[in-house]
Structure 1
Amino acid sequence: MAQLALDDYPDRYHLSNELHARPFPELTAPCRAAHLAIKQPRDAADRDRGRDFAHLVALLDRHGAPRPAPGANHYSGPLGRGFLKWEMHTEFVTYTIFADGVSQRPFSGEVFSLFPADWLAEAPGLVVTSCLVRVEVAGPDLEDRLGREVLSWFVPESLAVSQVVDAEAVVAADFRIDENGHCRVAVFARPGIGARRLGRIVQRMLEIETYKSMALLTLPTSRGVAQAVARLDGELSGVVAAMAEGGGQENKTLDQLLRMSAEIAQLSTASAFRFGAAGAYEAIVTQRIEVLREERIGGRQLLGEFMTRRFDPAMRTCRSARERLEELSSRAERAANLLRTRVDVENQAQNTEVLRQMSARAAMQLRLQETVEGLSVVAIGYYAVSLGTYLLGPVVEPVGIDKAHLSGLLVLPTLLGVWLMVRRVRARLDHGATH
């Protein structure tokens, strides 16, 4: 068939291959596995991933195994007497070694010898979870072993046992850390189960343990957030009560609200990633348990029941802390907006009073100006009449008009002329001010 004469969309092959990048291991009972999840204690999502890759390469070089392609985020291949599966995740990396057969002493951890002690000590991070898996063939005496031998492997109070994947296997785990620092998982495979199906069961059990541990990393953060929210909630209630009483210190109260809002924003920023990651990890744990399709065996506790009783309350605590923080942020914002409105109204009232006082002063100045203008007309008219009398006196004396009568005749027309002149000058000044 001819190829398409079109260019491929960017990353088309990369995105398609991502769906097949992490195949499940193919296992045959009996076998065993050792699983490690390593995470940096701070800013793990922004870590230098090159250090993780270099640590993997150092392990492969120890065993003379082939190296992965530069920049790879997953690897599968032989490692000594076992088979290594390595994955790089957003916050952590996982190493899983599968080996044939089981040790005579259950969960002895002999397979961990493939991880050299000095290599482990140089790991760029800390252990989030370490898990040992023992896979055996389920014989006809399985019920007796579950009631006797398996109980000695786990803590009975926490033990969860169920048939999974159409009863093709029985899984058992207590999700506790033993005296050697490992969690334990036992898988009893029914005869005839496929290697891929058994690999999926083991892989999902390891994922449940890993993502459960990663989700629980949010619990300390949520407790710290809950304490801070309780303190800030009390402060906010006091501020709102003071606002209701109207103490008259709105600017001081607004500063306090802004400080609280900044602290709330800092809490939200610092915990947002952790809360978001917890939700994602919780969803993965729930989905992995669902796909196992558990069935009860002998009235024993299911994995889902264990998580409902132990894991779900911790996740509800995390969700509650996040929701309380979001609610507190909204309340603080509403209180600040209300106080800003009150301050704006009071400032507007003060501005209105200032404008009223300015208007009153302007009216007073106008009346004073009109008074001054009247006095100016009289003064100018007086000097104009005097000048007119001196100027016209010699002219009107021959016709029998003395200076006193002349001054009387000049008063009215002079004052009228001066008044008209002042009005005209004022009109010009007002016209210039409006333009």
Structure 2
Amino acid sequence: MGPEFEHPLRYEVANELHARPSPRLSAPATCIFLAFKEPEFAARRDPARDLEHLTELTARHGGPRPDPDSSHYQGRLGRHDLKWESHTEFVTYMALTPGLPIRPFDPSAAAIFPQDWQGSAPGKRVAAVMVQIDVLPDDPGEALNRIERWFVRDSLTAVWVLEESVLIAGDFRIDADGWMRFAMFVRPGVGEGRIGRIVHRLVELETYRTMSMLGLGRVRGLTARLNVIEPKLAAIVAQMTDENCPAEAVLQDLLDVSAELEAQAVSHSFRFGATKAYEAIVMDRISSLRESRFRDRQMLTEFMHRRYRPAMRTIGSAESRLTAMLERAERAGELLRTRVDVERSAQNQALLARMDRRAELQLRLQHTVEGLSVVAISYYVIGLLSYALSPVAARLAVDKGYLIAGLTPITVVVVWLAMRRVRRSLHSHGPDDGI
């Protein structure tokens, strides 16, 4: 079959599965990992700036230039294997170097990433991890002695991973040079691919832990604002039952509060969603390590449940509180609109009743006017007839007063019948008749 039978994205999505393979490492080795994120609107950043920063690094070390249309890069920079990836909110750099520094976790091991180059990054550093990969001594107790010298005991985690093939240790503290440090002791015979995958999961664990906890600072500001808004909302709900408070004024206050809540929800929705996604990745990376206890030391799962999960629950609680306040404001708005509609219906009914009374008065007035009109018209008709019949009355020797007296009741009856006929004619024909 020719290419015309293939979906245009088939090869692209298939190649994406193999675009970011885990590194291959053999002990001893050192991993230096950095992640940069722009402080604001990182998801909408210009990716060209990240590529320019990467290109500057490769040019310094004489390495191959990155593809301008790619979101990942792998290349050899001197003694280092560099791996770069672009993510939704951040970019990561991983440099892998054979061997270990003379001193454990010596900052000189990160010389591939110069300080001035880091300072010129488009974003700020959110993760800086140094991982030392060494061969596990015959006596694991010797490895434990080193670990206890390197890390703070009260936050130390030390676990076996992947069927006790590798010992991982760290205290999740940032040292004086700004590095989060982890130590790995690998049993002899563990494959390079497995070592590389463990290193990759370890640095991802730290990166996504940091990214998920960025929401904690945002939540503190949100909580302070909700503490101000919530009493206002409660006061508005209380005013809804007060007949002395105009419903329109209460509704306007409620609209102001609802608008501010919606603005807070829009402002924090992305961070809430990202936090949930990053938390899921953190727990997935821990699960994929298949840890088991090393002697009596704290496990990663225990550390995360004690130190990490409370922060995630705080963020989740703030999101739930904001959602609940939005729902309360919405329900209050519906009730208040119902009250306004009822009051307006009562006002409309009162207005219609007044209009009915006015129409009745107008009808009565019209009947009065019609009666007066009969008298007036009859008066003028009798006057005209008296002038017209005066000669006849003189010839017949009839007194004019008797003539007018006789014509008066007849004229009034005729005029009244004529007016009644006209009124009936007007009532029997609607405004659209004859169109």
For 1:245-285, what per-residue CA distance to the aligned partner results, in whole angstroms no more than 9, with x for missing partners? Answer: 33332111111100000110110011111111100100000
For 1:302-361, what per-residue CA distance to the aligned partner results, in whole angstroms no more than 9, with x for missing partners? Answer: 111111111100000000000100000000111111111101101110111011011101
Q: Match of 1:412?
A: 409
Which one of the candidate residues 329, 349, 371 is aligned to 1:374?
Answer: 371
Unaligned runs of 5+ in 2: none
Which one of the candidate residues 225, 230, 245 is aligned to 1:228?
Answer: 225
Q: Match of 1:401?
A: 398
Q: Match of 1:191?
A: 188
For 1:79-137, what per-residue CA distance to the aligned partner results, in whole angstroms no more than 9, with x for missing partners? Answer: 11110010001111001100000112100022311112322221111110101000001
Q: Does 2:314 match 1:329?
A: no
Alpha-carbon RMSD? 1.4
Q: CA deviation at 1:6?
A: 4.7
Compute the TM-score of the two structures, normalised by the length of structure 2: 0.96
For residues 49 and 427 of structure 1, the distance between their equivalents in structure 2, rounded to whole angstroms, comes to 85
For residues 94 and 55 of structure 1, the distance between their equivalents in structure 2, rounded to whole angstroms, comes to 12
> How many residues end up aligned between the 2 structures?
432
For residues 412 and 255 of structure 1, the distance between their equivalents in structure 2, rounded to whole angstroms, comes to 69
For 1:10-38, what per-residue CA distance to the aligned partner results, in whole angstroms no more than 9, with x for missing partners? Answer: 32211121121110000000000111010
For 1:142-184, what per-residue CA distance to the aligned partner results, in whole angstroms no more than 9, with x for missing partners? Answer: 22321x2211111111111111011110101111101111000
Mapping of residues 250-329 of structure 1, within 5 Å: 250-329=247-326
Bigger CA drift: 239-248 or 419-428? 419-428
1:132 partner SS: strand
For residues 383 and 304 of structure 1, the distance between their equivalents in structure 2, rounded to whole angstroms, comes to 112
Unaligned runs of 5+ in 1: none
Q: Does 2:131 match 1:133?
A: yes
For residues 304 and 42 of structure 2, the distance between their equivalents in structure 1, rounded to whole angstroms, comes to 26
1:120 is matched by which residue type in structure 2? Q
Q: CA deviation at 1:234?
A: 1.5
1:174 partner SS: strand
Q: CA deviation at 1:409?
A: 2.4
For residues 222 and 174 of structure 1, the distance between their equivalents in structure 2, rounded to whole angstroms, comes to 26
Q: Does 2:347 match 1:340?
A: no
For residues 350 and 243 of structure 2, the distance between their equivalents in structure 1, rounded to whole angstroms, comes to 21
Q: Match of 2:383?
A: 386
Residues 63 and 5 of structure 1: CA distance in aligned 2, closer, same or farther (over 3 Å): closer
Which one of the candidate residues 49, 54, 57 is aligned to 2:55?
Answer: 57
For residues 135 and 283 of structure 1, the distance between their equivalents in structure 2, rounded to whole angstroms, comes to 27
Q: CA deviation at 1:422?
A: 2.3
Q: Does 2:5 match 1:7?
A: yes
Is the CA contact (8 Å cut-off) linking 1:34 and 1:109 kept in structure 2? no
Is the CA contact (8 Å cut-off) linking 1:53 and 1:71 kept in structure 2? no
Which one of the candidate residues 233, 238, 243 is aligned to 1:241?
Answer: 238
Bigger CA drift: 103-112 or 202-211? 103-112
2:283 is matched by which residue type in structure 1? T
Q: Match of 1:34?
A: 32
2:74 is matched by which residue type in structure 1? S
